């Protein structure tokens, strides 16, 4: 009877553990899916508006397609949503004290699925013949164009405004007399229409790194599915290894701030390793043993393994301290 009672209790414990893990998996998967979709759609919308403004700034206006801008915005949003959703999911699983192995496997799997699905969809949308559109003229007569808002820079004044960018103009050079031109002589590149930009340099640098990372994702996808999976998988593996960075402090806001800094560091590292100068140095150092394109994923995997090992050792030490107490 005792053995039967023991087996029954052990079976109930296993069933409860499986139900608990499955329930946590479903919660984390649902959170990741909803968070990724919301962040991706919001980031794509904001990036699309930003690209539209940048496109409208250049004169003479060039034909552009809304679909092309939407695809470029979606590529940027994919990179932003990947980093943001992984950080948010790791923070959530850490606060809920989910199993680290289950959390990492779930986040890695869903990250790869969403990245592959979105990249494939964007690549298929590129084959759709879009309709070209022209921008809405901005500014009135006497529109002042300059590469900088500084008063000491050369400026071009369009007398007829952006409606006739190649028409009469006045060129104002600091320290010299103003020059009047009836028409543009030959191919003349006008400065963009000035807009006040109060964005902090830190956010601008992050936006540039996200764009470069999105371009690298697109490049790897064009090279082939295997190359894309290797690069994206190694980067996601490295991102998931930063779970310890959001568990250092007892304050959730401090942990989230540390996680953002850690993820910005990974983003900057990927940008740095994929620059042509670093690629040339890597090729010369490896001497043809392995290409620089393959070396970057190996670096991500190596760093990820070290960080995962560190997190595992910290978990063992903390568990032993709890048992001794």
User: Which sequence spans correspond to the domains of the chain?
Assistant: 2-133+197-324, 143-181
The highest-confidence range among 123-127, 180-184, 276-280, 297-301, by mean pLDDT, is: 297-301
C-alpha atoms less than 13 angstroms from C-alpha of 78 in its C-beta half-sphere: 27
pLDDT tens per residue across span 157-198? 665 655 555 666 666 666 666 666 666 555 555 555 454 455
Q: CA nearest 207: which of 115, 41, 87, 79?
A: 79
pLDDT-above-70 percentage for the chain: 64
Query: What are the b/e assignments for 50-68, b being 16+ CB within 10 Å?
Result: ebbeeebbbbebeebeeee
Confidence of residue 253 (pLDDT cuts 50, 70, 90): confident
Q: Which one has a higher pLDDT value, 156 or 302?
A: 302
User: What is the pTM (predicted TM-score) of this model?
Assistant: 0.76
Query: What are the b/e assignments for 166-175, b being 16+ CB within 10 Å?
Result: eeebeebeee
Written as six digits, the tokens of 32 are: 């990741």
Q: How far is CA 11 from CA 14, 24, 99, 248, in A?
A: 5, 20, 21, 36
Q: CA nearest 129: which of 72, 66, 73?
A: 66
Beta bridge partners of 133: 64
pLDDT tens per residue across span 141-159? 656 666 555 555 666 666 5
Q: Which one has a higher pLDDT value, 98 or 234?
A: 234
Q: CA nearest 243: which of 113, 115, 111, 93?
A: 93
* pLDDT, position 258: 79
* pLDDT, position 162: 57
- Beta carbons within 10 angstroms of residue 315's beta carbon: 13
- Which whole number is the average pLDDT over 43-61? 76
Q: CA nearest 145: which of 137, 156, 136?
A: 156
Vertex 139 angle, CA 134 and 144, to 5°: 115
Three-state DSSP state, 202 = helix
Q: CA nearest 211: which of 59, 52, 51?
A: 51
Quote the distance between the C-alpha of residue 241 and its chain's center: 18
Which residues neighbour 151 within 8 Å (Cβ) at sequence distance 6 or greater?
174
pLDDT-above-90 percentage for the chain: 20
Contact in structure between 244 and 310 (CB atoms under 8 Å): yes
Q: Which one has a higher pLDDT value, 318 or 312?
A: 312
């Amino acid at each position: 009877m005792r053995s039967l009672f023991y087996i029954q209790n052990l079976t109930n414990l296993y069933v409860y553990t499986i139900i608990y893990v499955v329930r946590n998996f479903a919660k984390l998967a649902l959170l990741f899916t909803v968070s990724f979709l919301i962040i991706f759609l919001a980031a794509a919308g904001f990036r699309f508006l930003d690209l539209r403004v940048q496109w409208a700034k250049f004169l003479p206006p060039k034909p552009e397609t809304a679909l092309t801008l939407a695809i470029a915005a979606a590529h940027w949003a994919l990179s932003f949503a990947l980093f943001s959703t992984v950080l948010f999911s790791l923070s959530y699983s850490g606060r809920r004290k989910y199993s680290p192995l289950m959390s990492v496997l779930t986040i890695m799997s869903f990250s790869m699925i969403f990245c592959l699905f979105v990249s494939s969809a964007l690549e298929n949308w590129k084959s759709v013949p879009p309709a070209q559109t022209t921008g809405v003229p901005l500014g009135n007569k006497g529109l002042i164009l300059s590469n900088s808002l500084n008063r000491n820079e050369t400026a071009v004044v369009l007398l007829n405004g952006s409606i006739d960018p190649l028409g009469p103009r006045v060129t104002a050079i600091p320290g010299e007399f103003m020059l009047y031109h009836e028409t543009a002589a030959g191919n003349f590149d006008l400065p963009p229409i000035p807009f006040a930009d109060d964005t902090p340099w830190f956010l601008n640098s992050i936006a540039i790194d996200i764009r470069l990372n999105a371009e690298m994702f697109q490049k790897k996808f064009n090279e082939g599915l295997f190359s894309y999976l290797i690069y994206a998988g190694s980067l996601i593996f490295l991102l998931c290894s930063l779970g310890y960075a959001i568990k250092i402090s007892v304050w959730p806001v401090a942990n989230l701030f540390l996680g953002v800094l850690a993820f910005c560091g990974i983003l900057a590292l990927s940008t740095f390793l994929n620059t042509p100068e670093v690629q040339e140095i890597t090729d010369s150092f490896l001497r043809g043993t392995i290409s620089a394109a393959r070396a970057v994923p190996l670096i991500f995997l190596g760093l990820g393994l070290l960080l995962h090992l560190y997190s595992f050792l910290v978990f063992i030490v903390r568990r032993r301290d709890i048992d001794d107490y």
